[in-house]
Amino acid sequence: MKKNRMLICCIVAAVLLMAQFVFSTINGDAGQADSHYYQTVWSLLPAIIAIGLALVTKEVYTSLFLGIIVGGMLYSNFSFEGTITHAFNDGIVASVADPYNVGILVFLVILGVMVNLMNKAGGSAAFGRWASSHIKSRAGAQIATIALGVLIFIDDYFNCLTVGSVMRPVSDKSKISRAKLAYLIDATAAPVCIIAPVSSWAAAVSSYVEDGNGLHLFIRAIPFNFYAILTIIMMIFLAVTGMDYGPMLKHEKNAKEKGDVFSDMRRLADESEKKANPDGAVMDLVLPIVILIVCCVIGMIYSGGFFDGESFIDAFSNSDASVGLMLGSAVTLVITMLYYLIRRVIPFKVMTDCLPEGFKSMVPAILILVFAWSLKAMTDSLGAKEFVEQMVRGSATGFQSFLPAIIFLIACGLSFSTGTSWGTFGILIPITLGVFPLTDPLGVVCVSACMAGAVCGDHCSPISDTTIMASAGAQCDHVTHVSTQLPYALTVAGVSSVAYIIAGFVPNALIALPVAIALMFITLLVMRKVMKA
């Protein structure tokens, strides 16, 4: 199987090299010209190739890299020199050098070190022992994971890695597959952040609305964010009933019957868990997590100017998530190390060893993130955003009652192909507000449809940073997480599409939301009955 996957990647690479040679021969290699593919449907090709190859070959690194190369080829009109220069200088190097991205990478490394420290201090093992004595069922462990994910609503990156590090020992003892844990983490990350008024996502959405009405619009749009609300309902239903379907069914069956939480995945468990201090206490895990939450909140409002006189709400709206999370996690790391030294649960030498080990544990996630950011840079340079914007503006004046459903589907496609929710907000929200005034109820529904669609596409996309974080948090193979999660996300997306059609004709949350919830329950009950038949 692995030979077939590598063969596919090699064939694609050979075809790209041949195309490069042919077009370079025809066009010459005389330097950079304006791209012939700018703001055309071809601008989406790099993302489509990367996503398609990743799902077919299960080789995510190679697939993303080939997508980046295709973007460079299209941008340079198949010039060899232009392809290499654009793919590496304007793609990979520029993505790594971006200050926002560097902050996120530092945050990742520090969290990797934190997880390593908590494991070696015995905090994770102690929490697992405590949880196993209080959580007696698989349903209870899943509900606990969902509850923790909902409580950590500040930021999706923070959510994924924190919930993963806390709940891994609990889910393993309850025989929950790592694929299911990754789904629960991912489904309580962006879907929760997008309906939490105090979150980095609320700040991002608010920034696209003029006249200081962003937060007010965000709150009004929450009841119409069907995808986020229905995702939470679906998670609880799956946990309580034990129903699973699609590729996830095999993983859950192996976990329940054989105790194999990894199934056919490469085992990604942290080696530090095997060397944990047997005398660790639950507080050795809980206290650092609480401090991390507090410090990250303080870091975010600090970056938004809270200590310079801004109000808490304004500071959060203006916050820089990259700076806030980086500073908060750095302070937490120092406090945690001092706490462990006072407790004498880890020798100082072991603590210093955790620094490179924590970095090493995050290398796969960092590599995928860098490639995903680079791929986004390729599609941006080809005008993918502008192409979608023109397409949306051209159809915005007609079919007004169907516009929420149309915007939802367009946002899904754009977010899926680019791997970014926030970029999708930046494209579609200004367009929507240009068509509808803030006082128009249908405009609120359309803004919510944009946010929901962006989260849905982000939830499904293998090149989404949140999806990558969820895989890292659960220590689950990335492509396995994407393939097992996809049927669940598409089920909610289908119900949400119908709900947005209804909301387009009846833009009243008191009517549309109960109808959407009823449709979700009916869909799940029918699926459960069909599976039992």
Distance CA 459, CA 449 (A): 15
153-172 pLDDT per residue, tens? 766 777 787 788 778 888 88
Given this model, what pLDDT does residue 6 score?
A: 54
Given this model, what pLDDT does residue 377 score?
A: 84
**pLDDT above 70 covers what percent of the chain?**
83
333-388 pLDDT per residue, tens? 999 999 999 988 888 888 888 888 888 877 877 887 788 788 878 888 888 777 76
CA dist 250 → 260, 269, 467 (Å): 11, 20, 21
Given this model, what pLDDT does residue 526 score?
A: 93
The answer, yes or no, to whether residue 95 has pLDDT greater than 90, is no
What residues contact 194, with CB distance under 8 A and at least 6 apart?
201, 205, 225, 228, 421, 451, 452, 455
Average pLDDT over residues 326-332: 90
Pair of tokens at residue 445: 């529904």
CA dist 415 → 185, 201, 444, 450, 465 (Å): 19, 15, 20, 10, 11
Average pLDDT score, the chain: 81
The answer, yes or no, to whether residue 275 has pLDDT greater than 70, is no
CB 141 within 8 A of CB 170: yes
How would you classify residue 102: left for phi > 0, otherwise alpha for psi between -120 and 50, otherwise beta? alpha
CA dist 236 → 229, 241, 406 (Å): 11, 8, 28
The answer, yes or no, to whether residue 19 has pLDDT greater than 60, is no
Given this model, what pLDDT does residue 32 score?
A: 42
Distance CA 65, CA 379 (A): 13
Given this model, what pLDDT does residue 4 score?
A: 56
Average pLDDT over residues 265-294: 70
Nearest to 470 by CA among 156, 60, 15: 156
Given this model, what pLDDT does residue 31 score?
A: 40
H/E element, 254: helix 247-258
- Residue 477 CB burial class (10 angstroms; 0-12, 13-18, ≥19): buried
**pLDDT above 90 covers what percent of the chain?**
22
Domain ranges of the chain: 2-97, 99-209+269-365, 381-532
The answer, yes or no, to whether residue 127 has pLDDT greater than 80, is no
388-436 pLDDT per residue, tens? 667 666 655 556 778 889 889 988 987 887 777 876 776 677 777 766 7
Read off the pLDDT band of 42 (50, 70, 90): confident
CB atoms within 10 A of CB 160: 30
Read off the pLDDT band of 280 (50, 70, 90): confident
517-526 pLDDT per residue, tens? 999 999 999 9
Given this model, what pLDDT does residue 491 score?
A: 95
498-513 pLDDT per residue, tens? 999 999 999 898 999 9
468-487 pLDDT per residue, tens? 888 888 888 888 999 999 99
178-193 pLDDT per residue, tens? 999 999 999 998 899 8
The answer, yes or no, to whether residue 252 has pLDDT greater than 60, is yes
Helices 384-395 & 403-418 angle (0-180, nearest 10): 170
Given this model, what pLDDT does residue 338 score?
A: 93
Tally of CA atoms within 13 A in the half-sphere of 399 that contains its CB: 12
Nearest to 329 by CA among 364, 353, 293: 293
4-15 pLDDT per residue, tens? 555 555 555 555
Given this model, what pLDDT does residue 399 score?
A: 65
The answer, yes or no, to whether residue 456 has pLDDT greater than 90, is yes
What pTM was estimated for this model as a whole?
Answer: 0.72
Distance CA 379, CA 68 (A): 9
CB 395 within 8 A of CB 439: no
CA dist 189 → 167, 182, 195 (Å): 14, 11, 11
Most trustworthy range by pLDDT among 28-42, 112-126, 199-213: 112-126
